[in-house]
Structure 1
Amino acid sequence: MSEARPEGARADGGPERPAPAAKLTLVTLTTMVVGSMVGAGVFSLPRRFAQETGVAGALIAWAVAGTGMLMLAFVFQTLAVRKPDLDAGVYAYAKAGFGEYLGFFSAFGYWASACVGNVTYWVLIMSTIGAVAPGLGDGDTLLAVVLSSAGLWGFFLLIRRGVKEAAAINRIVTVAKVVPILVFVLLALFCLKPHVFAENWGGADYAGSLFEQVRGTMLATVFVFLGVEGASVYSRHAKRREDVGRATVLGFLSVFAVFASVTIVSYGIMPMSEIAELRQPSMGGVLEEAVGTWGKVFVSVGLIISVLGAYLAWTLMAAEVLYVAAKDRDMPRFLSRATAEDVPVAALLMTTVLSQVVLVITLFSDDAFDFALDLTSALTLIPFLLASGYGLRIALRPESGTGRGGAVPREVVVAALATLYTAFLLYAAGLKYLLVSFIFYAPATVLFVMARREQGRHRYSFTEFVIFSVSLLGAVLGVVALAVGWISL
């Protein structure tokens, strides 16, 4: 009988060798992008927009968000071609452009946002079932958290079995979940009431100026577009490197029109003041008004399929970021462990644990779904800003050996627009979510210190010290603000 040995170790006792990366096609990479983007967010869009703006503001908001995110998608596409050696895109680009510590922050922030985002999926599932099972409330009761926790760990065991198997399931689920959303748009168009649509055009008195209305929708649009970078994050698995950029743009263009349509057609079914009061998933309430009770049931079933598929994709991507960062020695080495099936099991476990912690926190939130949604978006903004900033740097200063004599105007314009857009999103998020983000970021430095000590490196640069000081100050202010009630969850 052979003796048990550590996963990934050689039978002859030699050094550990990594399992070969599973290779994914353009179709699979694209469905992973679509699967990541089409999740909980789209089902919440009618209420989120109706709480902030009318038709005019929604059109402007989608124009801004669509243009900004398309520029960001183009940046990821360009970097995938220009920097084929960089894996786990968002994290790797930040490190290459701005140093190890900000690269670490980008990796941790992106990972943390994925973990918080996963919580929104379980909250929304429980809220959906809560319409017929009052004990689940809006997805934030003790019973809801217990059932969500069971699902959380059930998916951990599923993904633990292998990346190829999980990716195949995701491709099937992606197709299944897009269908009910398209049906919703078509039915809402058929039932659209022109006079209701016209009355909702300018927004309501509570919405404020048009600029404030548009600003109020930005975090919601960021949330639904999260996943546009999905193929880039999973780039080490691509069969052909150029497929990473193609999948990014194809995935974005596939869902942008759908997201905007879901929002706009809803304004033609009900007054925006009534849409703003719907329970989540608000898309179900809108369709119920249009075609009857069966419409709400139809959307609810579609939501559960959609959310479970998105949860699968996001859990894969979150674990991948930690794994690649550990392989690059920017995270502790225990996170670089992978099974024979190419599953980064330690990173997957840590991902599930953080999601579990945030799930418990929702018990103390005024609105669990909106809190988790907005925090997810806010945590992602710094990684996106750093990635687009690196894209601008590369566009302005092509590196030697590339055969390029100078800056490419198109790439400069695209990267500049993406950088301005992500900077505007930080402003739109507001001080509240920036401070709460620092509460996540500052303690994470412990992992960075662990990685440095494993390498025998104990010195830190002045820039790293300044960055840490700023994050620590922000975290302290965030904790104080929560304690005295200046901000609330």
Structure 2
Amino acid sequence: MTTTDAPATRRLPLTMLTAMVVGSMVGAGVFSLPRNFGQATGVAGAVVAWAVAGTGMLMLAFVFQTLAVRKPDLNAGVYAYAKAGFGEFPGFFSAFGYWASACVGNASYWVLIKSTLGAVVPAFGEGGTLPAVAVSVVGVWAFHLLILGGVKEAAAINRVVTVAKLVPLLLFVVIVAVALRGEVFTAGLWGDGPLFDQVRATMLVTVFVFLGVEGASVYSRYARRRQDVGRATVLGFLGVLALFASVTLLSYGVLPRRELAELRQPSMAGVLEAAVGRWGAALIAVGLVVSVLGAYLAWTLMAAEVLYVAAKDEDMPAFLKRENAQGAPSAALTATALLVTAVLLTTLFSQDAFTFTLKLCSSLSLVPYLLAAGYALMLAVREGGGRRDVVVAALATLYTAFLIFAAGLNLLLLSFIIYALGTVLFVITRRERGRRVFSRSELVLFVVAVVAGVLGVAGLVTGRITI
């Protein structure tokens, strides 16, 4: 399975690929870390959580680095690796799940922006009110028109935005480090309950903030040199890990853990306000808007790219491979905007719109990550990749399997509602090609997805699952 590479005039250098990785990961999640960690654990648990998440995600980063080199003919990495390793239907699940995860994540960005503005515009509330959703939908379609102007142009905008949004985040780290009070930090050393449960409670949050580690892999067909894909992935990841861990741990030294847990989102604003006053909250608010809009741009590009490449490879309906005169995947971008809009409408019925979209986004990403790691492990064992490759792929596979356990049954069932509905696209694709819709093994997977989706709907109806 191959897809034609982009023309030389549209190739991206290492710096822009790295900016895509950083821009994809540094979005809404980092601004929510103090409250999310304060609710789940103390300093000790946070250190363990970042060690586990950092190691696991670094293994995934190495997996994408290795696969980019060993399988240079596979573009749009996450989806392509799943198909190559496990077949067309699992590959479809990976492509659809990755795309849906990106769309839910994009909805969370708009929720957080409106929650931030809600501090001065009460009608926006915590981002899930009718006025907030209405304004967010307008924003979705405004960005849609911008991105239709061309993928490379949007990527160049993202590089500028990446630099701009890192400035307030780095200022936060410096200011909070200076303002840190040792007695407050040590008082928040321990959380409540068993350490394992505390760490488990943070896992979906860490997944959410690290989503995008595969960003350069998704854009592999735009790279000037194939080895730049792996380099951009690892460079971007290490820098972002240091930033996320610093934001989390230093916050424990400014406010007691109980107060961190009660902060309004974006909780970074509350921490900086406690350190320097109102201007600190304003700085974070401005940084958040720039950061989130930049991440939204990057994730919209990546989501559309996955649909587009899957359609080019005849694994999605043919209409999704349409391009406009500027070379942008117009049909895939429109489908992305439609799903983001639909998710925003569901937040009207959510008790905590941002937490709901954060966790659902993370949960949807786990199947694509697990399949990519499993494919890397399969290659390392079958093709003699060496002990290092086997260990790295095995650890990445175990880590993603643990994340599915940590997510819990309710989120898994909610995810399968979306997966089951998305199978309609697979049916359309097979019929377009005049092929049997499901093989025997594919039919088994389809039945499992439908049953899980039905259980998810039943849970929502009975109130056993809430959003």
TM-score, with structure 1 as normaliser: 0.94
- Name the Cα RMSD after superposition: 1.1
Larger radius of gyration: 1
Aligned equivalents of 1:280 and 1:418: distance in 2? 31
Aligned equivalents of 1:82 and 1:339: distance in 2? 32
Residue 411 (str. 1) matches residue 411 (str. 2): no
Specify the SS of the correspondent of 1:268: coil
Residue from 151, 157, 182 that aligns with 1:194? 182
Deviations 1:136-172 (A, max 9, x none): 1011110001110111000000000111110110000
Deviations 1:10-35 (A, max 9, x none): xxxxxxx9984721111100000000
8 Å contact kept, 1:170–1:313: yes
The code of the aligned residue for 1:138 comes to E
8 Å contact kept, 1:19–1:338: no
Aligned equivalents of 2:218 and 2:326: distance in 1? 19
Residue from 288, 303, 307 that aligns with 2:273? 288
Equivalence for 1:12: none
Aligned 1:173-188 pairs, distance under 5 A: 173-188=161-176
Specify the SS of the correspondent of 1:486: coil
Question: Displacement, 1:254?
Answer: 1.3
Residue 34 (str. 1) matches residue 36 (str. 2): no
Aligned 1:365-444 pairs, distance under 5 A: 365-398=350-383, 406-444=384-422
The code of the aligned residue for 1:299 comes to I
Question: Displacement, 1:239?
Answer: 1.0
Residue from 258, 273, 278 that aligns with 2:263? 278
Which is worse superposed, 99-108 or 178-187? 178-187
Aligned equivalents of 2:438 and 2:203: distance in 1? 36
Question: Displacement, 1:340?
Answer: 2.8
CA distance change for structure 1 residues 19 and 25 in 2, over 3 Å: closer, same or farther? closer
The code of the aligned residue for 1:95 comes to K
Equivalence for 2:346: 361
Residue 487 (str. 1) matches residue 462 (str. 2): no
Runs of 4+ in 1 over 6 A off after TM superposition: none
Residue from 194, 211, 223 that aligns with 2:208? 223
Aligned equivalents of 2:55 and 2:326: distance in 1? 39
Which stretches in structure 1 are left out of the alignment for 5+ residues? Answer: 1-16, 399-405
Residue 467 (str. 1) matches residue 445 (str. 2): yes
Residue from 233, 253, 276 that aligns with 1:268? 253
Aligned equivalents of 2:254 and 2:450: distance in 1? 47
The code of the aligned residue for 2:241 comes to F
Question: Displacement, 1:338?
Answer: 1.0
Equivalence for 2:141: 153
Question: Displacement, 1:302?
Answer: 0.4
Deviations 1:196-240 (A, max 9, x none): 10100011xxx3210000000000000000000000011111111
Residue 329 (str. 1) matches residue 314 (str. 2): yes
8 Å contact kept, 1:18–1:338: no
Aligned equivalents of 2:237 and 2:326: distance in 1? 30
Question: Displacement, 1:39?
Answer: 0.2
Residue 301 (str. 1) matches residue 289 (str. 2): no
Residue 213 (str. 1) matches residue 198 (str. 2): yes
Question: Displacement, 1:443?
Answer: 1.2
Aligned equivalents of 2:406 and 2:221: distance in 1? 34
Aligned equivalents of 1:409 and 1:104: distance in 2? 30
The code of the aligned residue for 1:162 comes to G
Equivalence for 2:31: 43
Equivalence for 2:333: 348
The code of the aligned residue for 2:235 comes to L
Aligned equivalents of 2:145 and 2:118: distance in 1? 26
The code of the aligned residue for 1:485 comes to G
Aligned equivalents of 2:326 and 2:234: distance in 1? 29
Equivalence for 1:455: 433
The code of the aligned residue for 1:137 comes to G
Count matched residues. 463
Equivalence for 1:4: none
Aligned 1:27-176 pairs, distance under 5 A: 27-176=15-164
Residue from 235, 243, 246 that aligns with 2:231? 246
Aligned equivalents of 2:110 and 2:117: distance in 1? 11
Aligned equivalents of 2:6 and 2:403: distance in 1? 39
Which stretches in structure 2 are left out of the alignment for 5+ residues? Answer: none
The code of the aligned residue for 1:416 comes to A
Aligned equivalents of 1:473 and 1:174: distance in 2? 42
Equivalence for 1:7: none
Deviations 1:271-303 (A, max 9, x none): 111110111000000000011011000010000
CA distance change for structure 1 residues 386 and 472 in 2, over 3 Å: closer, same or farther? same
Specify the SS of the correspondent of 1:278: coil
Aligned equivalents of 1:355 and 1:450: distance in 2? 22
The code of the aligned residue for 1:98 comes to F
Aligned equivalents of 1:71 and 1:19: distance in 2? 28
TM-score, with structure 2 as normaliser: 0.98
8 Å contact kept, 2:20–2:215: yes
Specify the SS of the correspondent of 1:138: coil
Deviations 1:166-187 (A, max 9, x none): 0110000000101111110111
Which is worse superposed, 103-112 or 240-249? 240-249
8 Å contact kept, 2:254–2:274: yes
Equivalence for 1:10: none
8 Å contact kept, 2:28–2:288: yes
Deviations 1:26-79 (A, max 9, x none): 110000000000000000000000000000000000000000000000000000
Deviations 1:421-449 (A, max 9, x none): 00000000000110000000001111101
Aligned equivalents of 2:73 and 2:5: distance in 1? 17
Aligned equivalents of 1:149 and 1:486: distance in 2? 29
Residue from 476, 484, 489 that aligns with 2:454? 476
Aligned equivalents of 1:145 and 1:118: distance in 2? 13
Specify the SS of the correspondent of 1:51: helix
Aligned equivalents of 2:374 and 2:392: distance in 1? 11
